Structure 1
Amino acid sequence: MFKEFKAFIARGNVLDLAVAVIIGAAFGKIVTSLTDDVIMPVIGKIFGGLDFSSYFIVLGKVPEALAGSSDYAALKKAGVPVFGYGAFITSAVNFLILAFIIFMLIRAVTKLMPKADEAPVDAPEPADVALLREIRDELKKKSV
């Protein structure tokens, strides 16, 4: 069983998938930081100093220690049911940025790759093959 597992892990596609997952997770963190630390503050500034993470609706009872609090993270940590649509907006923007970057990468790679419908230039037909083809065609004409 260990040999089978070792053979499974040693396959190229399994290793490629593992590398892709690790790189994807790191890339996701970079995009999350880009969204949270660069883009969303700029969007907030454009719209009058808004912080999207502070947009939420409290759905349950708030403990007295947090009464009147507008700290989404503190309320959530305290177990208060909170409808955090601002955090959702941030995640949606994060997704759109990630999807656009992946689209641009795939687009660049496909431009570099040769197209499947472009057949390589064929070598000229050998003289003996051309001669045999002419003989075949003449024989067909005579038999008809």
Structure 2
Amino acid sequence: MSKYWLLTLVPFLGGLVLTAYEARIALTEHVLRRIGRRAEAVVTGHTASREGTYPSLHPVVRWTDEHGEQQEHAVVASGPGAHRLSEGAVVRIIHPPGVPGTAALDTPERYRTAVFGMWLGVLLWVGALAAVLIRIATLLPTYHY
């Protein structure tokens, strides 16, 4: 077996990691959409955070929860232009009951992106596995019956 067989480990393991990471996000979004409470909120500002190696802005929104209390938290924002929401803009948010600090914008883009990333990961690891199996099959001796 040559050292080039190890090169198939990169897309295989990368695909497994990508599939697991995106599947976790998709599952979290699915559960949030099933049990979450939706509310109208007003953007009051932005907060900066570092995700990976680049800074990003998250909108800070204020809304009234189901108990009549005012809540103000930074929300998980995804999609193009989510960081460009102007102050005073009215947005729809979704949050788990009793945990208003984990609110997210009520858009399907985060779920769609997670599902796309999950299938891309599956394509990577299945493709690497198929390439290895095809290569093994071509190396097997042929039998004549």
Q: TM class, shorter-chain normalised? A: 0.3 to 0.5
If you compute each CA radius of gyration, which structure gives the higher value, 1 or 2?
1
**Counting strand residues as a fraction of each chain, which structure ranks higher?**
2
**Comparing both chains, which one has the higher relative contact order based on Cα–Cα distances under 8 Å and sequence gaps of 6 or more?**
2
Normalised to the residue count of structure 2, the TM-score between the two structures is 0.34
Relative to its length, the structure with more helix (as a share) is 1
